[in-house]
Amino acid sequence: MFWSKEAYDITKKITRNNELHVDLVSHVYLLLHQLDIPADELPKTFSKFAFNQWNWKQSEFNRQYQRGIINHELPECFSTADQEDFSEHEDMLIRFLEKPPADDTDLFCKEIAKMHLYGMTYRDIRNDTDLSLQIIHQAIKQFKHDLYNHYHYTVLNRNSQSTNDFQSTRLQATELPELSIILD
């Protein structure tokens, strides 16, 4: 019942009866179907996702439907003829960004980080999303933390030969200059 009527009513309100409200329902459905969301929280979560996808100028939805924005897609930035020259860190960053989000907080942090990676300043992000600079800073900080943990889990877990090696090896973010340059 939710997906056949209520979801469309929500997107009509968010988009102020824009004809793209139907496409927004489909887009948010694809984002949410991978997540395990209880039925009683589905309308609230759907509303958050739909609102964010509609209002963030650099959201996946807005890039796909090009709602009057300049299209700066991340894959375009990285789809040059010399893709073989990408470092392991850049490949890992792209894979991490493409990984489905665990929850809406993870999605929020990734979307804010993508905006920053596209070249937007904190103030540009604030102007587009009406979020405070502190929240933007915390989201990007959380993204860096998640990326750092992902790096250690995937790369060090793969390279270490024992659990002791993994526990004794502690890299600091300053020892990853490629990632610091990309994110800063």
Strands annotated E in the chain: none
Q: State what percent of residues in the chain have pLDDT above 90.
A: 9
d(CA 104, CA 31): 10
pTM of the model: 0.43
pLDDT at res. 138: 93
Confidence of residue 137 (pLDDT cuts 50, 70, 90): very high
Query: Per mean pLDDT, which range of 66-75, 152-161, 164-173 is the poorest?
Result: 164-173
Residues with Cβ < 8 Å from 29, sequence gap 6 or more?
A: 3, 7
The encoded tokens of residue 162 equal: 């024992």
Check if the beta carbon of residue 115 is closer than 8 Å to that of residue 183.
no
pLDDT over 90 (residue 73): no
- The pLDDT of residue 170 is above 60: no
Can you tell me the distance from the alpha carbon of 21 to that of 14, in angstroms, rounded to the nearest whole number? 8
- At 133, the amino acid letter reads L
Question: pLDDT per residue over 13-27, tens digit each?
Answer: 988 888 888 889 988
- Asked if 96 and 150 count as a contact pair (C-beta separation under 8 A), the reply is yes
**Average pLDDT of the residues of the chain:** 76
Count the neighbouring beta carbons within 10 Å of the beta carbon of residue 157: 11
142 or 161, which is more confident?
A: 142
Give 30-59 pLDDT, tens digit per residue.
888 878 888 888 888 888 889 888 888 778
Q: What is the mean pLDDT of residues 99-108?
A: 87
Tokens matching residue 137: 């800073």
What letter does residue 154 receive in the DSSP assignment? I
Half-sphere exposure (Cβ direction) of 155: Cα atoms closer than 13 Å: 18
Please state the φ and ψ torsions of residue 41, each to the nearest 5 degrees. -100, -5
Listed residue (120, 109, 104) closest to 150, CA to CA = 109
